[in-house]
């Protein structure tokens, strides 16, 4: 893959990110070569790692975080990293199928300084508003399989990426009025029968089925089947 193609991917990534950031207007993004101005801002970044057909590290810095606080609902316990997760997912989606690790707030100075990182200045109405960095460090080569074709054993590539696993035993839809009527002792019927397997999700993607068990007085899930990788990454 040529450097030009890589820059095109990263330009598409930052455009997708800007569309979903909780800002008053969609930010403009300009690739910059001089990293001096951004260096001092990188200590308070939101970062995440993506593993898939192509892997990447991304980082976002916003000069004014009030928009993130507003999107989180004021006193809501939702973190800024959780608020921008949909935007980061949109950015890495241009790389193809894969899994985005949980975004965290941390120092991204090394990522900003790396010569392999493409750095973008974000602006609103011509006023600098932040920075977005993207480093593609594992690229699919011509003739190799893509992420949707990788065998299960290849998932060891994500062993160092923190991810959130969720077990879903069922879902339902309720009106706001029905939710407000809930009281201790209320029974909410789910969309699956008793004894049906639970869904095991990794960062929101279905990867396996299992059954709920009790392990040392704690609830646990026993994996009963693994979803085909191609199906799980779609």
- Do 139 and 173 share a structural domain? no
Question: How does strand 205-215 pair with strand 218-226?
Answer: antiparallel
- Look at residue 89 and tell me if it is in a domain: yes
- Given a contact cutoff of 8 angstroms between Cβ atoms, the answer to whether 201 and 165 are in contact is yes
Q: φ, ψ for residue 75 (rounded to 5)?
A: -90, 10
How far, in Å, CA of 164 to CA of 103, rounded? Answer: 11
| pLDDT at residue 126 tops 80 | yes
Q: Which tokens hold the place of 5?
A: 């193609």
Average pLDDT, the chain: 80
- Do 178 and 111 share a structural domain? no
Q: What is the CATH number of the domain that holds 56?
A: 3.40.1550.10
- Look at residue 82 and tell me if it is in a domain: yes
Last residue of a domain, one of 146, 180, 214: 146
Please give the pLDDT value at position 166.
86
| pLDDT at residue 201 tops 70 | yes
- Do 182 and 136 share a structural domain? no
How far, in Å, CA of 40 to CA of 125, rounded? Answer: 23
How far, in Å, CA of 224 to CA of 228, rounded? Answer: 13
Each residue of 154-184: pLDDT tens digit? 455 556 667 778 888 888 888 888 888 999 9
Please give the pLDDT value at position 90.
92
How far, in Å, CA of 192 to CA of 49, rounded? Answer: 34
Percent of the chain with pLDDT over 90: 26
Each residue of 92-117: pLDDT tens digit? 999 888 888 889 999 999 999 998 99
| pLDDT at residue 37 tops 90 | no
- Look at residue 155 and tell me if it is in a domain: no
Please give the pLDDT value at position 148.
40
Task: Give me the domain span that covers residue 112.
Answer: 3-146
Please give the pLDDT value at position 234.
46
Please give the pLDDT value at position 228.
58
- Do 112 and 36 share a structural domain? yes
- Do 171 and 109 share a structural domain? no
- Look at residue 24 and tell me if it is in a domain: yes
How far, in Å, CA of 190 to CA of 13, rounded? Answer: 38
- Look at residue 47 and tell me if it is in a domain: yes
Domain count, the chain: 2
How far, in Å, CA of 177 to CA of 84, rounded? Answer: 30
- Do 195 and 122 share a structural domain? no
How far, in Å, CA of 96 to CA of 88, rounded? Answer: 14
- Look at residue 176 and tell me if it is in a domain: yes
Q: What is the CATH number of the domain that holds 213?
A: 2.30.330.10
Distances (CA, A) of 40 to 55, 58, 68, 144, 149: 26, 17, 20, 40, 41
Which three-class secondary structure state does DSSP give residue 143? coil
- Given a contact cutoff of 8 angstroms between Cβ atoms, the answer to whether 157 and 229 are in contact is no
């Amino acid at each position: 893959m040529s450097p030009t193609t890589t820059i095109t991917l990263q330009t598409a990534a930052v455009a997708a990110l800007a569309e979903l950031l909780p800002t008053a207007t969609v930010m403009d993004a300009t690739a910059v070569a001089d990293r001096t101005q951004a260096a001092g801002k990188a200590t308070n970044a939101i970062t995440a790692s993506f593993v898939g057909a192509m892997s990447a590290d991304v980082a976002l810095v916003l000069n004014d975080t009030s928009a993130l606080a507003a999107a989180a609902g004021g006193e809501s316990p939702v973190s800024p990293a959780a608020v921008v997760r949909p935007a980061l997912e949109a950015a890495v989606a241009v790389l193809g199928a894969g899994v985005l690790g949980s975004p965290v707030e941390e120092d991204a100075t090394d990522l900003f300084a790396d010569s392999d990182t493409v750095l973008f200045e974000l602006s609103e109405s011509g006023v600098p508003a932040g920075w977005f960095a993207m480093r593609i460090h594992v690229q699919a080569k011509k003739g190799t399989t893509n992420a949707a074709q990788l065998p299960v054993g290849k998932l060891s590539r994500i062993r160092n990426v923190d991810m959130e696993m969720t077990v879903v035993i069922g879902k339902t839809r309720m009106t706001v009025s029905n939710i407000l009527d809930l009281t201790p002792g209320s029974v909410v019927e789910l969309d699956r029968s008793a004894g049906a397997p639970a869904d095991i999700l990794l960062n929101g993607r279905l990867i396996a089925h299992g059954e709920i068990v009790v392990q040392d007085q704690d609830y646990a899930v026993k994996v009963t089947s693994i979803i085909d990788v191609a199906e799980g990454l779609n």
